[in-house]
Structure 1
Amino acid sequence: MGVIVTAGVGGWSLVRPDPEERTITVGTTDGIASLDPAGAYDAGSWRLFSNVYQSLMTFTPGNAEPVPDAADQCRFADSELTVYRCTLRPGLEFTDGSALTAEDVKHSFDRILKIDHPEGPAKLFDTLGEVRIDGNAVEFRLKTSDAAFPYKIAGGAGSIVDSRRYPADDLLQDDRAIGSGPYTLDGYEPGRVARLAPNGGYAGVLEELPTHRVEIRYYAKPEDLSEAWRKREIEVNAGHMPPAETAAISPSDQGIRLHDQPGHETRALAFNLRPASATSGRAVRQAVASLVNRTAIARHVHQRTVEPLYSLIPQGVNGHAAVFHERYGEPDAGRAAQLLERGGAETPVRFEIAYSAEQRAAAEEAGTLKDQLESSGLFEVTVREYAPDAFREGMAKGAFDAYLVDRFRDYPDPDAYTAPLVGTDGVHSTGYGDAKVDRMIGDTRRGYDRSAVLERFREIHRRVAVDVPLLPLWQDKAYVLSTDDIAGAQYLTDNSGVWRLWELDRL
Structure 2
Amino acid sequence: MLVLAVVGIGAWQLLPSQDDNNKTITVGTTDAVTSLDPAGAYDAGSWALFSNVFQTLLTFEPGGVEPVPDAAKSCVFEGGGLKSYQCRLRDDITFPSGRKMTAEDVKYSFERVKRINSDVGPASLFSTLASVTADDATTVTFHLRTPDATFPLKVATGAGSIVDKEAYPARSLRTGDGVDGTGPYTLTAYTVNRKADLAPYRNYKGYLSGTGRPIELRYYGDSRKLSSAWAAKQVDVATRTLPPGVLSELNPSDPKQRVTVSDSSETRNLYLNTRANSPLNDVRVRRAMAWLVNREQLAVKVYKGTVDPLYSLIPTGITGHTTSFFDTYPTQSAKKARELLLQAGVSVPVRFTLGYGRNRGAGAEEAAELKQQLEASGLFKVDVRGYEWTDFQKRWAAGKMDAWAVGWVADYPDADTFGSPLVGTGSTMSTGYSSKAVDHLIRDSQQYPDRARAASDFRGIQADVATDVPLIPLWQRKEYVVSTEDVGGGQYLSDGTGVFRLWRLNWI
Q: 2:167 aligns with which of 138, 156, 165?
A: 165
Q: Do 2:119 and 2:394's aligned partners in 1 also have CA atoms closer than 8 Å?
A: no
Judged with a 3 Å threshold, the aligned counterparts in structure 2 of structure 1 residues 388 and 181 are, in CA distance, closer, same or farther, namely closer
2:463 corresponds in structure 1 to: 462
Q: Do 1:262 and 1:315's aligned partners in 2 also have CA atoms closer than 8 Å?
A: no
SS of equivalent to 2:251? coil
2:33 corresponds in structure 1 to: 32
2:214 corresponds in structure 1 to: 213
One-letter code of the match for 1:137? T
Residue 114 (structure 1) aligned with residue 121 (structure 2): no
Distance in 1, matches of 2:67 and 2:40, equals 23
CA-to-aligned-CA distance 1:109-129 (integer Å, 9 cap, x gap):
111112222222111111111
Distance in 2, matches of 1:26 and 1:252, equals 22
Coordinate RMSD, CA, aligned: 1.9
The Cα shift of 1:211 comes to 4.6
Q: Do 1:114 and 1:169's aligned partners in 2 also have CA atoms closer than 8 Å?
A: yes
One-letter code of the match for 1:427? T
The Cα shift of 1:82 comes to 1.1
Judged with a 3 Å threshold, the aligned counterparts in structure 2 of structure 1 residues 389 and 259 are, in CA distance, closer, same or farther, namely closer
The Cα shift of 1:55 comes to 0.3
Q: Do 1:112 and 1:122's aligned partners in 2 also have CA atoms closer than 8 Å?
A: yes
The Cα shift of 1:358 comes to 4.1
Judged with a 3 Å threshold, the aligned counterparts in structure 2 of structure 1 residues 42 and 374 are, in CA distance, closer, same or farther, namely same
1:267 corresponds in structure 2 to: 268
Unaligned runs of 5+ in 1: 5-15
Q: 1:140 aligns with which of 127, 139, 142?
A: 142
The Cα shift of 1:163 comes to 1.3
One-letter code of the match for 2:398? K
Judged with a 3 Å threshold, the aligned counterparts in structure 2 of structure 1 residues 332 and 167 are, in CA distance, closer, same or farther, namely same
Q: Do 2:119 and 2:397's aligned partners in 1 also have CA atoms closer than 8 Å?
A: no
2:497 corresponds in structure 1 to: 496
Unaligned runs of 5+ in 2: 1-13
CA-to-aligned-CA distance 1:150-196 (integer Å, 9 cap, x gap):
11110111111111211212222332212111122222222222121
SS of equivalent to 1:443? helix
CA-to-aligned-CA distance 1:292-340 (integer Å, 9 cap, x gap):
1001111111111211111111223222211111111121222223333
Distance in 2, matches of 1:276 and 1:215, equals 45
The Cα shift of 1:434 comes to 1.1
Q: Do 2:262 and 2:480's aligned partners in 1 also have CA atoms closer than 8 Å?
A: yes
Judged with a 3 Å threshold, the aligned counterparts in structure 2 of structure 1 residues 506 and 18 are, in CA distance, closer, same or farther, namely closer
2:429 corresponds in structure 1 to: 428
Q: Do 2:34 and 2:390's aligned partners in 1 also have CA atoms closer than 8 Å?
A: no
Q: Which has the higher contact order (CA 8 A, sep 6+)?
A: 2
Distance in 1, matches of 2:89 and 2:312, equals 38
1:63 corresponds in structure 2 to: 64
The Cα shift of 1:253 comes to 2.0
1:200 corresponds in structure 2 to: 202
1:86 corresponds in structure 2 to: 87
Q: Which moved more, 1:391-400 or 1:45-54?
A: 391-400
Distance in 1, matches of 2:55 and 2:484, equals 29
Judged with a 3 Å threshold, the aligned counterparts in structure 2 of structure 1 residues 245 and 466 are, in CA distance, closer, same or farther, namely same
SS of equivalent to 1:229? helix
Distance in 1, matches of 2:167 and 2:224, equals 38
SS of equivalent to 1:291? coil
SS of equivalent to 1:398? coil
One-letter code of the match for 1:176? G
Judged with a 3 Å threshold, the aligned counterparts in structure 2 of structure 1 residues 2 and 341 are, in CA distance, closer, same or farther, namely closer
Distance in 2, matches of 1:194 and 1:391, equals 23
Q: Do 1:488 and 1:503's aligned partners in 2 also have CA atoms closer than 8 Å?
A: yes
Return the TM-score normalized by structure 1: 0.93
Q: Do 1:127 and 1:146's aligned partners in 2 also have CA atoms closer than 8 Å?
A: yes
Distance in 1, matches of 2:175 and 2:394, equals 23
SS of equivalent to 1:325? helix
Q: Which has the larger radius of gyration?
A: 1
CA-to-aligned-CA distance 1:192-212 (integer Å, 9 cap, x gap):
221212222222112x31352
One-letter code of the match for 1:487? G
2:8 corresponds in structure 1 to: none
One-letter code of the match for 1:142? L
Q: Do 2:320 and 2:458's aligned partners in 1 also have CA atoms closer than 8 Å?
A: yes
Distance in 2, matches of 1:220 and 1:398, equals 25
Residue 185 (structure 1) aligned with residue 187 (structure 2): yes
The Cα shift of 1:278 comes to 1.5
Residues matched between the structures, number: 494
One-letter code of the match for 2:61? T
The Cα shift of 1:19 comes to 4.0
The Cα shift of 1:390 comes to 4.3
Q: Do 1:236 and 1:480's aligned partners in 2 also have CA atoms closer than 8 Å?
A: yes
Judged with a 3 Å threshold, the aligned counterparts in structure 2 of structure 1 residues 343 and 397 are, in CA distance, closer, same or farther, namely same
1:355 corresponds in structure 2 to: 356
The Cα shift of 1:50 comes to 1.0
Distance in 2, matches of 1:114 and 1:351, equals 35
Distance in 2, matches of 1:464 and 1:18, equals 51
Q: Do 1:357 and 1:386's aligned partners in 2 also have CA atoms closer than 8 Å?
A: yes
The aligned runs of 1:91-110 (5 Å cut-off) are 91-110=92-111
Distance in 1, matches of 2:333 and 2:20, equals 63
Judged with a 3 Å threshold, the aligned counterparts in structure 2 of structure 1 residues 173 and 319 are, in CA distance, closer, same or farther, namely same
The aligned runs of 1:183-332 (5 Å cut-off) are 183-206=185-208, 208-332=209-333
Distance in 2, matches of 1:336 and 1:72, equals 56
CA-to-aligned-CA distance 1:409-462 (integer Å, 9 cap, x gap):
222221111111111122222111111111111111112211111111111110
One-letter code of the match for 1:416? T
SS of equivalent to 2:291? helix
Distance in 1, matches of 2:437 and 2:172, equals 37
Distance in 2, matches of 1:272 and 1:18, equals 52
Distance in 2, matches of 1:118 and 1:212, equals 35
Q: Do 1:316 and 1:495's aligned partners in 2 also have CA atoms closer than 8 Å?
A: no
One-letter code of the match for 2:462? H
CA-to-aligned-CA distance 1:253-286 (integer Å, 9 cap, x gap):
2311100112343221111222232111111111
Judged with a 3 Å threshold, the aligned counterparts in structure 2 of structure 1 residues 3 and 32 are, in CA distance, closer, same or farther, namely closer
Distance in 1, matches of 2:234 and 2:388, equals 29
Return the TM-score normalized by structure 2: 0.93
One-letter code of the match for 1:160? I
Q: Do 1:225 and 1:239's aligned partners in 2 also have CA atoms closer than 8 Å?
A: no
Give me the identity figure in percent.
48
